[in-house]
Chains A and B, each alone.
Chain A
Amino acid sequence: MITFPGSLDDQDAARAVRYAGAEPVALWHDDADLHGVAAVSVPGGFSYGDYLRAGAIARFAPVMGLVVAAAERGLPVLGICNGFQILCEAGLLPGALLRNAGRHFVCRDQRLRVENNGTAWTNQYWAGAEFVVPVKSMDGRYVADRSTVDELEQQGRVVFRYAGGNPNGSKNDIAGICSPNGRVVGLMPHPEHAIDELTGPSADGIGMFGSVLDALAPAAG
């Protein structure tokens, strides 16, 4: 779990990891090694104040070079909200995230549909399942050129789609996508805020953190 200057949701991501039964490890943006973690979560927030473009400066943080190299070796990486923006800027995921079409910051409970349950982060869901998580972002409109979007659709790399209304005008209602090997997933909504009905709209977000433990289990055992 990485913390950049301006990260907000790193503690909630750590809590989600704990709820799923794993040990969260704090990584700092300036770290020169990944402390042997089995997976990385890049949290939401406004790293470096979102200066220039959301995620544009965080992408050059020392720790991100390590994350990119480790992801190329198959390390599971999850980018949530600003984390998704960072992964796109870093080139781990294609496309970009732009200002919401409605020009307003959107903060609401959002229904999501699981389109691909074959990734490292979604194997505990049924394909086609829908669940509710918070979405809270200013720059959540996913865009990519037509050939990239076609490729994502054809390869089943659209992992989540907005259901019951698109909050930001994203292409094809895309809420989250993955790398070709399904190990790197980025999404705008916040599963880490939906892990306990006491504090979130549902507890269904925990499945993402449980999924990665399942994905890692064969390697560990």
Chain B
Amino acid sequence: MARVFVDVMPKPEILDPQGQAVARALPRLGFEGVSAVRQGKHFVLEVDDSVDDDTLTKIAEGFLANPVIEDFVVRRAES
């Protein structure tokens, strides 16, 4: 078994109103100095050793992320 992380983020040119809302709330909570926030998704997958990197990329590209609007990074946990 291996642990795999997939991070999915809206592409830089895509407006992220949720991230903006978080950024605007921070000063109201007394946290200064955060100029921008982008909100994405973090997936943790437990996979069999038979699952290769190509398959993981297909999972990320074809399902976990929508390549029209999102970028993704697939990373295996250090074992």
- Which residues does A use to contact B, with CB under 8 Å? 52-53, 56, 60, 88-89, 94-96, 98-103, 141, 143-145, 169
Contact = CB atoms under 8 A, between A and B. Distances in A.
Contacts of B47: none
Interface stretch (B12-20, B27-35, B49-57): B12-20
A100 B63 contact: no
A103 B18 contact: yes
Contact of A95 (B15, B21, B68): B68
B69 interface: yes
B64 interface: yes
A103 B15 CA distance: 11
Contact of A143 (B14, B18, B63, B64): B14
B66 A56 contact: yes
Contacts of B69: 96, 98, 143
20 contacts: A52-B64, A53-B66, A60-B63, A88-B68, A94-B68, A95-B68, A96-B66, A96-B69, A98-B14, A98-B69, A99-B17, A101-B17, A102-B17, A103-B17, A103-B18, A141-B15, A143-B14, A143-B68, A143-B69, A169-B15
A56 B63 contact: yes
Nearest to A148: B68
Nearest to B15: A101
**Which size class do B's interface residues fall under?**
10 to 19
Contacts of B63: 52, 56, 60
Contacts of B68: 88, 94-96, 143-145
What 9 A-B pairs are tightest by C-beta distance, nearest first? A96-B68, A96-B69, A103-B17, A101-B17, A96-B66, A99-B17, A103-B21, A53-B66, A143-B69
Nearest to B39: A99
Nearest to B65: A53
Given A99-B17, A141-B15, A169-B15, 18 more contacts: A52-B63, A52-B64, A56-B66, A60-B63, A88-B68, A96-B66, A96-B68, A96-B69, A98-B14, A98-B69, A100-B17, A101-B15, A103-B17, A103-B21, A143-B14, A143-B68, A143-B69, A144-B68
Most buried by B among A52, A60, A89: A52
A112 to B, nearest CB: 23
A101 B14 CA distance: 11
B17 A89 contact: no
Nearest to B43: A52
Contacts of B15: 98, 101, 141, 169
A141 B15 CA distance: 10
A65 to B, nearest CB: 14
Interface in B45-79: 63-64, 66, 68-69
